[in-house]
């Protein structure tokens, strides 16, 4: 119970975003859940669901993720929500990914309240046990969020 | 019944919120933001790693039945007759990418002999170092870990075997290693302590009639030490942590201080104690040297003979039993 509560709280911590649209720069926040992850770097139990230890993820893995995202300050669109679902692969660089790892992935997004659906690609580097990362998401067809830079803050 | 269902759901929610709030208050008050800030500041402004003038390149001592080389922190290279066991290997220059070593490791990983086993007491960063295991990957065929740890470890070329409390690993050469109870805290990053709350252990190593105790990281738990003594009544050596000691109110729940380490040594009934887990990193309010000084003071108070405690410097090796002695 206690572990579940702590896990739930860590999932609520958002990652801050810098959103670059075609005609504006804004801010935002992103959350992320991992319904399924296959770790090819871990010694035991390669399949994980939601409750994913940093070592399982950053020692080498492929994850299915769901990601609600909120952005603000676009002209004529004060704020907006978007959800993503995607696949991402993590690869370790130093000390099984605890010191440095990177990821590459793709996602399908749906902007709530509009008909904007499409694909995005992302690339990221992580350090400090995977807890901190620098994330770039490119969505060339989404004019309000062509590029998103994110300070990825994540545990589990 | 709708009311009962709603009541049950509300009760579940209240219980969850209460547990989480309690955990947050407890961890905030126990860990203490001030303590963490002090330790971080001391690390950022602390001295650079001190180099050792002489480091052993061949640790094998043919004249020894039992020898110990303190590599630093909880890392000890034990020689029992013709075989070697390494405890909590830590050879990286920093801990958690933040805390720099005060003293370099007492031996280079490439100078380690072939190891019969590597013992890992728990998952904390200063005891389970993934980079250090990379450095010694070719030196051992097995690492023993506490129950619940294997699923949080990456794959290595050596076997990773979990040992439940009081369970033993027996090698074909007669080496026997048993997981014994200690009192500490599980998890790896602090925040995850509740996820694997019992993922820590001590070990007793037995070979050719020799018995050696490795306490890993432990608080003072008289019942655990007495239970170990009941099963292992002929301990030659006890590796016991003596630091971090301050702030004592916080540390006492998870760590032995020098006085308690001596009390544990008495309860274990070992012939010799080898203090570990001090003067390698800054992870407490203790000044370098203070735990060793307090240990000497406590030894005087207890009128304990100096020979009973092998207080080594990092990189120092001592023969604790000669081949002809037994």
Strand partners, B66: B80, B321
Residue A18 has pLDDT above 80, yes or no: yes
Q: How many CB pairs under 8 A join A and B?
A: 79
Model pLDDT, residue B22: 45
- Could you give the CA distance from residue B128 to residue B121 in angstroms, rounded to a whole number? 8
Task: Compare all CA atoms of chain B with the CA of A56 and give the residue at the minimum distance.
Answer: B152
Q: Is B57 strand, coil or helix?
A: coil
* B104-132 per-residue burial string, b: 16 or more CB within 10 A, e: under 16: bbbbebeebbebbbbbbbbbbbbbbbbbb
Residue B236 has pLDDT above 50, yes or no: yes
Instruction: Summarize the confidence of residues B111-123 as an average pLDDT.
Output: 98
Partner A, chain B 104-133, Cβ-Cβ below 8 Å: 130-131
Angle, alpha carbons B23-B125-A43 (nearest 5°): 100
Calculate Rg over the CA atoms of chain A. Answer: 16
Instruction: Summarize the confidence of residues B224-242 as an average pLDDT.
Output: 98
Instruction: Summarize the confidence of residues B98-123 as an average pLDDT.
Output: 96
Model pLDDT, residue B97: 81
Residue B73 has pLDDT above 50, yes or no: yes
Model pLDDT, residue B326: 54
Nearest-Cα distance to chain A for B169, in Å, is: 19
Handedness of CA A112, A114, A117, A120 (dihedral sign): negative
Contact B129, B92 (CB under 8 A): yes
Set of chain A residues whose Cβ sits within 8 Å of the Cβ of B20? 2, 5-6, 8-9
Going along chain B from its start, the domains and CATH numbers come out as: 10-325 (3.60.15.10)
Backbone angles phi, psi at B243, to 5 degrees: -145, 160
Instruction: Summarize the confidence of residues B67-85 as an average pLDDT.
Output: 98
Q: How confident is the model at residue B31 (pLDDT cuts 50, 70, 90)?
A: low
Set of chain B residues whose Cβ sits within 8 Å of the Cβ of A54? 189
Helix, strand, coil shares, percent, chain A, to 5: 15, 60, 30
Among B260, B228, B283, B316, CA closest to B95? B283
At how many degrees (to 10) do helices B258-268 and B290-301 cross? 50
- Could you give the CA distance from residue B144 to residue B120 in angstroms, rounded to a whole number? 6
Q: Is A95 on the interface with B (CB under 8 A)?
A: yes
Angle, alpha carbons B73-B290-B224 (nearest 5°): 55
* pLDDT, chain A, mean: 93
Among A66, A67, A133, A63, CA closest to A98? A133
Contact A55 B154 (CB under 8 A): yes
Set of chain A residues whose Cβ sits within 8 Å of the Cβ of B153? 42-44, 55
Higher pLDDT pick, B84 / B100: B84
Model pLDDT, residue A40: 97
pTM of the model: 0.89
Residue A79 has pLDDT above 90, yes or no: no
- Could you give the CA distance from residue A143 to residue A149 in angstroms, rounded to a whole number? 15
Model pLDDT, residue B230: 98
Q: B183: which residues sit within 8 A by CB, 6+ positions away? A: B218, B219, B220, B221, B224, B254
- Could you give the CA distance from residue B19 to residue B253 in angstroms, rounded to a whole number? 20
Residue-wise DSSP of B149-161:
-GGGSB--SSEEE
- Most A-contacting residue of B28, B90, B128, B130 (CB-CB within 10 A), to test interface: B130
Least confident piece of the model among A73-77, B4-8, B140-144, B195-199: B4-8
Instruction: Summarize pLDDT for B162-172 with one digit per residue, the tens.
Output: 999 999 999 99
* pLDDT, chain B, mean: 89
Q: B230: which residues sit within 8 A by CB, 6+ positions away? A: none
ipTM of the complex: 0.90
Handedness of CA B160, B147, B119, B51 (dihedral sign): positive
Q: A155: which residues sit within 8 A by CB, 6+ positions away? A: A10, A13, A54, A131, B189, B191
Residue B10 has pLDDT above 50, yes or no: no
Q: How confident is the model at residue B7 (pLDDT cuts 50, 70, 90)?
A: very low
Residue-wise DSSP of B273-324:
EEEES-SSS--SSPPTTHHHHHHHHHHHHTT--GGGB--PPTT-EEEEEEGG
Residue B320 has pLDDT above 70, yes or no: yes
Model pLDDT, residue A47: 98
Instruction: Summarize pLDDT for B284-311 with one digit per residue, the tens.
Output: 888 889 999 999 999 999 999 999 999 9
Instruction: Summarize pLDDT for B254-278 with one digit per residue, the tens.
Output: 999 999 999 999 999 999 999 999 9
Model pLDDT, residue B27: 54
Strand partners, A125: A102, A134
């Amino acid at each position: 119970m206690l572990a579940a509560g702590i896990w739930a709280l860590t999932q609520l911590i958002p990652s801050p975003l810098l959103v670059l649209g075609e005609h504006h720069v804004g801010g935002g926040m992103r959350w992320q859940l991992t319904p399924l992850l296959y770790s090819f770097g871990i010694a035991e139990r390669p399949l994980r669901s939601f409750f994913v230890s940093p070592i399982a993820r950053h020692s080498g893995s492929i994850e299915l993720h769901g990601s609600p995202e909120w952005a603000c300050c676009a002209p004529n669109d004060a704020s907006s929500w978007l959800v993503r679902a995607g696949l991402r692969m993590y690869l370790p660089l130093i000390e099984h990914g605890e010191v440095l790892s990177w990821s590459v992935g793709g996602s399908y997004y749906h902007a709530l309240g509009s008909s904007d659906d499409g694909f995005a690609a992302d690339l990221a580097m992580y350090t400090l046990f995977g807890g901190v990362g620098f994330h770039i998401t490119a969505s060339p067809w989404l004019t309000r969020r062509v590029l998103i830079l994110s300070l990825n803050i994540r545990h589990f | 019944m709708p009311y009962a269902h709603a009541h049950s759901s509300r009760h579940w929610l209240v219980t969850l919120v209460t547990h989480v709030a309690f955990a947050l208050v407890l961890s905030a008050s126990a860990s203490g933001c001030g303590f963490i800030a002090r330790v971080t500041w001391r690390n950022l402004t602390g001295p650079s790693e001190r180099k050792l003038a002489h480091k052993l390149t061949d640790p094998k001592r043919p004249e020894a039945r039992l020898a110990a080389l303190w590599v630093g922190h909880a890392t000890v290279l034990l020689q029992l007759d013709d075989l070697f066991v390494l405890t909590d290997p830590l050879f990286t220059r920093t801990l958690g990418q933040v805390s720099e070593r005060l003293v370099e490791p007492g031996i280079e990983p490439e100078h380690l002999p072939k190891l019969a086993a590597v013992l890992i007491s728990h998952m904390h960063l200063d005891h389970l170092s993934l980079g250090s295991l990379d450095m010694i990957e070719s030196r051992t065929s097995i690492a023993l870990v506490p129950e619940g740890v294997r699923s949080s470890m990456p794959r290595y070329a050596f076997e990773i075997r979990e040992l439940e409390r009081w369970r033993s690993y027996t090698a074909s050469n007669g080496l026997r290693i048993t997981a014994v109870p200690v009192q500490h805290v599980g998890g790896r990053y602090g925040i995850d302590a509740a996820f694997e709350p019992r993922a820590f252990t001590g070990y007793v190593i037995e070979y050719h009639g020799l018995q050696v105790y490795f306490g890993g990281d432990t608080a003072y738990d008289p019942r655990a030490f007495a239970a170990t003594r009941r099963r292992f009544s002929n301990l030659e050596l006890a590796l016991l942590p003596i630091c971090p000691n301050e702030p004592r109110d916080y540390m006492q729940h998870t760590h032995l201080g020098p006085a308690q380490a001596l009390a544990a040594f008495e309860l274990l009934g070992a012939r010799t104690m080898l203090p570990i887990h001090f003067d390698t990193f800054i992870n407490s309010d203790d000044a370098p040297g203070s735990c060793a000084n307090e240990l000497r003071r406590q030894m005087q108070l207890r009128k304990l003979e100096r020979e009973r405690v092998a207080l080594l410097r990092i990189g120092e090796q001592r023969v604790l039993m000669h081949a002809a002695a037994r």
